[in-house]
Chains A and B, each alone.
Chain A
Amino acid sequence: MANINKGAQDHTFDAIVIGSGISGGWAAKEFTEKGLKTLVLERGRDVKHLKDYPTTNKYPWEFPHRGQIPQAIQEEAPVVSRCYAFKEDAMHFFVKDKEHPYEQDKPFDWIRGYQVGGKSLLWARQTQRWSDFDFEGPARDGFAVDWPVRYADIAPWYSYVEKFVGISGNKDGIPNLPDGEFLPPLEMTAVEEYFKGFVAKNYKDRHVIYGRCAHLTEPQPIHIQQGRVQCQKRNLCQRGCPFGGYFSSNSSTLPWAEKTGNLTLRPFSVVHSIIYDEQKGKATGVRVVDTQTKETTEYYARVIFVNAAAINTNLILLNSTSNRFPNGLGNDSGVLGKYFAFHNYRGRISADYEGMPDLTTEGRSPTSAYIPRFRNVVKQETDFLRGYAAGFSTGRRSWNSHDGFGQTLKDHLFNEEMGNWWVGSHMMGETIPKEISQLTLDKTKKDEWGVPVIHVNLGYDDNDEKMLKDFYEQMTEMYTKAGFTNIRTEDSKQAPGLDIHEMGGARMGKDPKTSILNKWNQMHAVNNVFVTDGACMTSTSTQNPSLTYMALTARAVDYAVSQLKKGEI
């Protein structure tokens, strides 16, 4: 491997952050604000806020296929084409299948965004806190290992990141979905309000709430300082927002880090592996392959944060082998790459509501209502473990008749008709991390940067099937009692991965014999390496995970810097 280092000095930083997505952006912000010279490595190209959102102000008619992905691209990239957000207006922010191959031991749709900001440009922006009903799950129900943290450890850090990110929400007072630092909520629709009232009256432990989301409904001074203003309800978030109305690394943490003067951002940098020094017993840096020149360079730092997104974080760690760690960095326990999990998004249920014919909505809402988990919360009550949350949205159906031709058809197209309200819901089920659900490296195949190709072996189990059935049953009952009609259930049969909530592989835990990271997201065996993206997750619960990654990251940086100052790492 050619080493083109001009001098170790130029390549030495206080901290290295691998990845610039939602958690890497936070690591960059926290390190640079605390005065550490920080190198952020991003495998993709740079995407600058405002400048690099080429489609953001386009009207529907400016897209030659009105958003649809051409057939040739769909056939060449079937995996990414299954993603709901992969459309003509945002396709430039997604990795096409051929650009980075992987092996599916079982069907797995790996959705990736290789650019500065990663998938934070594309996320669905739902930000629900975990509670102790989530953190205590594995210990209570006897799967995975006990989380080494509890809600009280993370709560102040949820607050810390929420204030900076800007979260719109209601204080609902629900024990299993703790309240946070909220900007005002948007309105729920008339039917969502109706269903909320109906459920509150008929089910003592079920709730329909406004989904908490990372949108600036009423920007505070801290958001204005970031150059972000009020969300304009465009619902074109996936293009990048010219208002900074939703949170992304690009609009928020990275420019903030840049202003400190302590940030060095290096795009086109694939991390091959982390360098481990046997004498020092520490990681000393990383080996980087420049994707344009294919040259390998080394960069050094006192502390390394791995935020490459769950699968690539596992890949880097598994590929960082040495005499001390022949099976991957920090992998004394042998669990690295194992106990990988995701969220079950297969179930959907839709219906009509014939009530409230005199009401409709106006404008667009970037979020929807949310039904927090109500199954097995306080105690085990079903024949499956854990439970599901659900998104819940409604709207008034309107259409133009397509009957006839000539003047008749044209009259139809100029005059809209109004139908019933539509009602829709999708499940977000917790899945159980298992030893057999794992990521491994191919023994021979390598990608174009000389990094082994990763195998993903992940599937649904009996628990997931039972949970899906229960979602249909419970929701059908609630819908029916609420007077919704024409109820239709659908199993999307989607492969794991399409939820884009892959988690685990380098899990946190109390015991170095069964986990990779301690309660500070610090490697048990290599104390200057931290993992704070999805790879660290011990279990998955039901909440959209990004908010928890951000809180864990800010907390871990705070700890790492205090340890650095004490000379402990």
Chain B
Amino acid sequence: MLVNRRTALKQVLVVSAGLALLPSCLRKPSPASISLKNIAVDAEGENMLAALADTLIPATSTPGAKDVKAHLFALTMVDDCMKKEDQQKFLTGMKAFSDLCQKKNGHSFEKSSPAERAALLKELEAADASKDDAAAFYRTVKQLTIYGYTTSEYYLTKVQVYELVPGRFHGSVPVKPASKRTA
């Protein structure tokens, strides 16, 4: 193949420019899977949220929060529907949660064992969210995950069926004894 000098030089330049960029590219975290306008949460943060959602409402014989993408709903709500200061609190809390996990378990929440995850959540359930950033973050994520899960297509078609067109209203009906549902 005939390669003239000019082209060869150009290619070398392009390659070296690429090489020069490469380390910073590697350092740059990959973005979250949904586009976020206001908060800086990357793929790593998203994965942590997914693991947390999965721990809160796990997949069993029925789908869990992660399966219905409740963690992405939570992220969307924080990004679009929260005040700036609350978004800041959320991000601070997210870091505190991650650090706490690292400190307690020696690795990230995703890499924690089910027992390690449960121990951490148990501690945060008992903590005072008004004084503890990690606990405040946990409460917010829990609330939004539950909200996302219970308004998901799965939940509203298979668990509590939402009727778009009820076609009826009865003002006085006997309370039916509910049989326990398997979650």
User: Nearest Cβ distance between residue B57 and chain A, in whole angstroms?
Assistant: 5
Segment 379-420 of A: residues with Cβ below 8 Å from B: 396, 400, 402, 404-407, 409-411, 413-416, 418
Give, as a whole number of angstroms, the nearest-CB distance from A419 to chain B: 11
A188 touches B146 (CB 8 A): no
- Over the window 65-94 of chain B, the binary record of Cβ atoms lying under 8 Å from chain A Cβ atoms (1 yes, 0 no) is 000000000001100111100000000000
Interface assignment of A186: CB less than 8 Å from any CB of chain B: yes
Stretch at the interface among A59-67, A278-286, A339-347, A431-439: A59-67
Instruction: Assess whether A186 is in contact with B172, with CB atoms less than 8 Å apart.
Output: no
The reply to whether A359 and B55 form a contact with Cβ atoms under 8 Å apart is no
B153 touches A234 (CB 8 A): no
Q: Interface majority SS on A: helix, strand, loop or mixed?
A: loop
Q: A326 interface residue, CB < 8 Å from B?
A: no
Q: A65-B80, A363-B166, A410-B183 are in contact. Are A405 and B121 (CB under 8 A)?
A: yes
Instruction: Indicate if the CB atoms of A233 and B168 lie closer than 8 Å.
Output: yes
**Interface size range on B against A:** 35 or more
Decide if B181 touches A414 in the complex (CB within 8 Å). yes
Q: Is B149 an interface residue (CB 8 A)?
A: yes
Which residues on the B side are within 8 Å of A415 (C-beta)? 178, 180-181, 183
- Is the beta-carbon distance between A405 and B172 smaller than 8 angstroms? no
Given A59-B156, A405-B142: A72 and B80 interface contact (C-beta under 8 Å):
yes
Which chain A positions have C-beta within 8 A of B162? 59-60
Q: A59-B153, A72-B80, A416-B178 are in contact. Are A406 and B171 (CB under 8 A)?
A: no
Given contacts A186-B169, A363-B166, A406-B58, 19 further A-B contacts (CB under 8 A): A65-B77, A68-B77, A71-B80, A72-B80, A186-B171, A188-B171, A189-B171, A189-B172, A193-B172, A232-B166, A358-B174, A361-B172, A400-B150, A402-B146, A405-B118, A406-B118, A407-B60, A410-B57, A413-B146
Interface residues of B (CB under 8 A from A): 55-58, 60, 62, 64, 76-77, 80-83, 118, 121, 125, 142-143, 146-147, 149-153, 155-156, 159-160, 162, 164-175, 178, 180-183
Q: Could you name 27 residue pairs across A and B whose Cβ atoms are closer than 8 Å?
A: A59-B164, A61-B151, A66-B151, A68-B81, A186-B171, A233-B168, A357-B175, A359-B172, A359-B174, A359-B175, A360-B174, A360-B175, A361-B170, A363-B170, A402-B142, A402-B143, A402-B146, A405-B55, A405-B121, A406-B58, A409-B57, A410-B57, A410-B62, A413-B155, A413-B183, A415-B180, A416-B160
